[in-house]
Amino acid sequence: MEQSKHLSGMLPEELEALALRLGEKPYRGRQLFEQIHARLAGSLDDVTVLPGAFRKRLADEGFSAHGLSISQVLESTDTTIKMGLSTVDGLVVESVLIPMETGAFTQCMSSQAGCALACEFCMTGTLGWTRNLTAAEIVDQHLLALARFPDRPVKNLVFMGMGEPLLNVDEVVKAIRLLQHEKARSLSPRRITVSTAGIVPGIRRLGQEVDCQLAVSLNAPTQELRAELMPVSRRYPLDELMAALKEFPLLPRRRITFEYVLLPGVNDSPAHARDLVRLLSHIRCKVNLIPFNPFPGSRFGRPSDESVDRFLELLSAKQMMATIRRSRGADILAACGQLAGKKG
């Protein structure tokens, strides 16, 4: 499968060059870009501003507007929506629309089919890794959601779905550039968050190549415990990760978010809270506490609300900015750590 055959993954200059190669003026490429990204054209047939002959040449060469199609939609009792999206080679990836108190939605985006990191607390990690998603397949999750659910305004994108974004950094960076383009969705850098399990080279590249928010899936305050829960920490130890984060470029008033999945009896004691405060004391940050969401086959249980509140209080008492993420969509396996798209 060639990424270049999916037009939603091409920047305006790439589409201009394509139009020129096919005998059209470059501005036809810009029109194509705006129709797909701003007008949400679902197929080449919908791009009626282009000459029919040009659209036919594109189709004859195997080009299509998108690289994904919606194959399944599940809606939770709390109005969370989980989409199953099929690739042209028969894989299914998942993306979730999460309601916010404002009435708008945050969309959880996937960057890979499956995941190779095998974190103990994540259902996606049980699948193994199949392949990286292309920029088109990443962008399409958002474009198709906007077209399918016009009454669900998506204001924020979080790369916290299936896969490790920074093991697919080329395509993720390109997708962010497409989503931020002024002739496309024109999303503010403050509205896009990339979450990583701690891929140090990818963190450095992200900070150099694109402007967005950074979140780190931490889940343990010590190297020993983190390596037990997250095998990636053996390759990129905690001290190397923290050094890279201290160098990450942060604009004024921005913070790095640390995600901390609370696992009862594993990482939620007062000692763990104290160690966490000590570890993060020199980084401008906030902590997002996530009560573990059980899934079939998991060895962990869900922590009690009392234990979660106690951990939050311990952090707050040390002036650590912290919040609790009350997960949505657990009844349709759409909550954090529960995504597990399968081959269709």
Joined together, the tokens standing for residue 317 give 């008492």
With beta carbons less than 8 A apart as the criterion, state whether 92 and 344 touch. yes
| Residue 114 CB-half CA count within 13 A | 11
With beta carbons less than 8 A apart as the criterion, state whether 160 and 98 touch. no
What pairs with residue 240 in β-bridges? none
Joined together, the tokens standing for residue 81 give 């929506």
Joined together, the tokens standing for residue 341 give 């798209």
Q: Look at the alpha carbons of 239, 243, 248, 253 in this order and tell me if their dihedral is positive or negative.
A: positive
Active-site residue, selected from the candidate residues 24, 34, 94, 137: 94
Active-site residue, selected from the candidate residues 108, 122, 212, 336: 336
Of the candidates 55, 53, 58, 8, which has an alpha carbon nearest to the alpha carbon of residue 33?
8
Q: Look at the alpha carbons of 243, 244, 247, 248 in this order and tell me if their dihedral is positive or negative.
A: negative
Of the candidates 245, 241, 318, 323, which has an alpha carbon nearest to the alpha carbon of residue 284?
245
Residues 6+ apart with CB under 8 A from 104: 153, 154, 155, 156
With beta carbons less than 8 A apart as the criterion, state whether 278 and 287 touch. no
Query: Would residue 122 show up in a list of annotated catalytic residues for this protein?
Result: no
Residue keyed to tokens 């791009």: 47
Stretch (H or E) spanning 225: helix 223-229
Residues with a known catalytic role: 94, 336
